[in-house]
Amino acid sequence: MFLVTPRSTPIVSRHARRSLRRHLSLSSVAGPLEPPLVYDTLPAYFNNSILAKHADRPALICRGERPRAHGGPLSRNMGRAQPLAWDFAEFDRHIGALARGLLGLGVRPGDRIGVVMGNNSAYACLQWACARIGAILVTLNPAYRLPELVNTLNLVGVSHLFVVPRLRSSTYVSLLADAFPALCASAQGNIQEEALPTLRHLVIVDNTGDTQEFDRQMDKAKCAVDFSEVLVWREDGSEAERVRKVAEGLHCDDVINLQFTSGTTGAPKAVSLTHHNLLNNALSIGRCMRLTSSDIVCNVPPLFHCFGLVLGNLAAWAHGASIVYPAEAFNAHATVDALVEEQCTALHGVPTHFLGILDEVRRRRESGDTVELSTLRTGIAAGSPIPMELMKNLIEQMNLRELTIAFGMTETSPVSFQTTADDPLIKRVETVGRVQPHVRAKVVDLEGNVVPVGTPGEIMIAGYLLQKGYWKDEAQTAKVMRKDEEGTLWMYTGDEGIMDEEGYLRVVGRIKDIIIRGGENLFPVQIENVLMEHPTIREAAVVSVPDPRFGETVGTWIVRAPSAKEPLTRANVKAFVAGRMNPQNAPTWVWFAGEDGVPGEIPKTASGKVMKHVLRAWSKDLAGKGIGAVPLPPATPA
């Protein structure tokens, strides 16, 4: 971000450059004020700065979808027979048809539109169409179990839910229809289900590739609407005029996206993000990567997460670059095919993704295949720290010589720090770079005082990128967002960091106890709450355990109930969690207090608070000795 190249607008003022020459003594920085912030809404920016300049440039390639996946007029499909491939003009036609169709479904500005899908063209259209009519896109994790899905839908009052019939092992239409028989009896647009009081429409996007199978899925819920029937292709009808009128009333500070996060309470919180938050963050992210309309970004992270939705989709499109989805969900084989065949210039992922892709590249090369990756140059690694050896392998074996590292949180839209290609390799591995433009950051002690450089403390962030607040949760918002004596609003991140004299930030730990497994945040309190439902468990504590592949995995400490009559095994514990939550929450390690040389009780403070730092140390030591591993299931015979 502190870089000037012939390919982009200078983003550091002369004053900022002079100030950067002076080494810091305190851990407090302010990003440059150039280029200025943009105050457009997303649809205004799309029309004026993307479509006006890049209409005939590639916008979206979905390698798992056929052309005209959603019907409509004949498609140019960028002259390709397969797969689905849109330039920005055709992308705009689909977005417009969907925006008109959403109004036809009764969607109004401020309505919450839930999405449970993988990375596909319908999701991409919804991202822009909702913003175009002032609706709020609610991104939901496809791995949610039914209770998690229902809780999140009700928390924000979702009125329209878009799903695919299945993704990996999840079958959403069957899941909902079996759990809520009212969906089978309700008419379209008039769902009457007590457990989902605000839901009115269920829209199904066909990802089956089989017309008969899709018809069977539709028959399971009488209330269901086929996504392809929602789109309104006429551009001169009443719906088009309504879209124009709604757009005139939009403001850049309107909330357009709710993304879920959690914390020490274990209860989900919906982060409220605006046009202004997301657009400006996307522009800054893309500048750090030197994105232009010639770039092709392979977007692997899921769209329900800010990584895929903002760092991927929005950062690319804001700079006129193209997005490629290799598959609905991560698949290393499909990703390498996409990188080679689409001649991608950028690749996004968490370390787990990169490790899988590297393994696939090596396998092909060892078998004699040519894997041509000379067009690759940049991308983003985020979610977990990236080891030096992995970074070197990505540069040497995949040509990712300008790979950047980003740091942030959902509540900050999300990126506040990012490395650039100009940073030394050691800084790109050991730090998360320097602060983004128009962002302030500081590292403070327990009393809120800014600490000297080189001293750990809590990272705090201020600026345009702060969320508007947790949806209808003022109490939780007030706990993490507070004004200082000068009236500046700060986000208390809960992350511990160390800033050096050049302003580079190193994240050394988390004050919160979040576990980051392969780039996905897992929340110990939620897992503990599930474990405590088991009749033979008296106490449970969950901590992170270092893992060479995923960065961290889940470790669980169990105190058996004295009255337990049935034996509880490690495999039982894992299955119990996996059956009630996203399976990634299931523990890889389980220790029973007082057994196998494990201490006899969970350590606590005098006030009864579990000493998680002690448990983490014990867990690391025991895991290193192989004690407590959950046995793998027996292999299925070929």
Q: Give DSSP secondary structure letters for 478-542.
A: HHHEEE-TTS-EEEEEEEEEEE-TTS-EEEEEESS--EEETTEEE-HHHHHHHHTTSTTEEEEEE
Asked whether the beta carbons of 57 and 91 are under 8 A apart, the reply is: no
Nearest to 589 by CA among 549, 622, 613: 622
The overall average pLDDT reported for the chain is 91
Report the pLDDT averaged over residues 501-509. Answer: 88
* pLDDT > 80? residue 387: no
Residue 307, judged by CB atoms within 10 A of its CB (0-12, 13-18, 19+), counts as buried
When comparing pLDDT for 426 and 380, which is higher?
380
Q: Specify the amino acid at residue 106.
A: G
Pairing of strands 434-435, 415-418: antiparallel
Least confident of 50-59, 264-273, 351-360, 388-397: 264-273
Run of H or E including 555: strand 551-560
* Residue 379: per-residue pLDDT: 97
For 321-373, write each residue's pLDDT tens digit.
999 999 999 999 999 999 999 999 999 998 878 989 999 999 999 999 999 99
For 432-442, write each residue's pLDDT tens digit.
999 999 999 99
* pLDDT > 50? residue 17: no
* Residue 385: per-residue pLDDT: 63
Run of H or E including 96: helix 88-104
Helix axes 524-531, 570-578, angle to 10 degrees: 110
The phi, psi pair for 615, rounded to 5°, reads -60, -40
For 274-301, write each residue's pLDDT tens digit.
999 999 999 999 999 999 999 999 999 9
* Residue 429: per-residue pLDDT: 82
User: Domains, the chain, ranges and CATH?
Assistant: 1-36+440-512 (2.30.38.10), 42-272 (3.40.50.12780), 515-624 (3.30.300.30)
Which tokens hold the place of 413? 């839209």
Report the pLDDT averaged over residues 58-70. Answer: 97
Q: DSSP letter for 483, please.
A: E
Which tokens hold the place of 158? 């979702």
Asked whether the beta carbons of 413 and 465 are under 8 A apart, the reply is: yes
Report the pLDDT averaged over residues 511-540. Answer: 84
Beta bridge partners of 58: 87
3-state secondary structure of 120: coil
Which tokens hold the place of 407? 């740091």
**pTM summary value:** 0.83
For 77-91, write each residue's pLDDT tens digit.
999 999 999 999 999
Residues 6+ apart with CB under 8 A from 530: 576, 577, 580, 581, 585
Run of H or E including 45: helix 42-45
